[in-house]
Amino acid sequence: MELTIEEVKHVARLGRIGLTEKELEKFQNQLSSILDFVSQLQKVDTAKTKPLSQTTGLKNVWREDVVTPSLSQDEALQNAPEKFKGYFKTKATLK
């Protein structure tokens, strides 16, 4: 499937990515190749294949959540350079 430059520009706009003309051509070729490969995958007959959700046979080794003693709020804040009403105070990250 061959993407047009306009389609690549549209995808870039959706991702809020600014691209040069050279990058548009490069990504046009790369995205077209990816879509061609996906098209090939869609043609594979999987009717007799069982659905897979896990291929390695490994199982989660996570422990059960257990409540354990931890620092009090005062202990957690004792070395904080700034605090406000029982919380860590930081510079604003959003404008």
The torsion angle over the Cα atoms of residues 86, 87, 90 and 95, rounded to 10 degrees, is: -110
| Domain boundaries along the sequence of the chain | 5-42
- pLDDT-derived band of residue 7, with 50, 70 and 90 as boundaries? very high
- pLDDT-derived band of residue 89, with 50, 70 and 90 as boundaries? very high
**CATH class of the domain defined by 5-42:** mainly alpha
Amino acid at 23: E
pLDDT in tens, 52-83: 877 788 888 888 899 999 999 999 999 999 99
Contact between 89 and 83 under an 8 Å Cβ cutoff? The reply is yes
Coil/strand/helix, residue 81: coil
- pLDDT-derived band of residue 87, with 50, 70 and 90 as boundaries? very high
Contact between 28 and 8 under an 8 Å Cβ cutoff? The reply is yes
pLDDT in tens, 10-32: 999 999 999 999 999 999 999 99
Q: Which of 70, 92, 67, 90 is nearest to 80 (CA)?
A: 90
Q: What is the pLDDT of residue 41?
A: 95
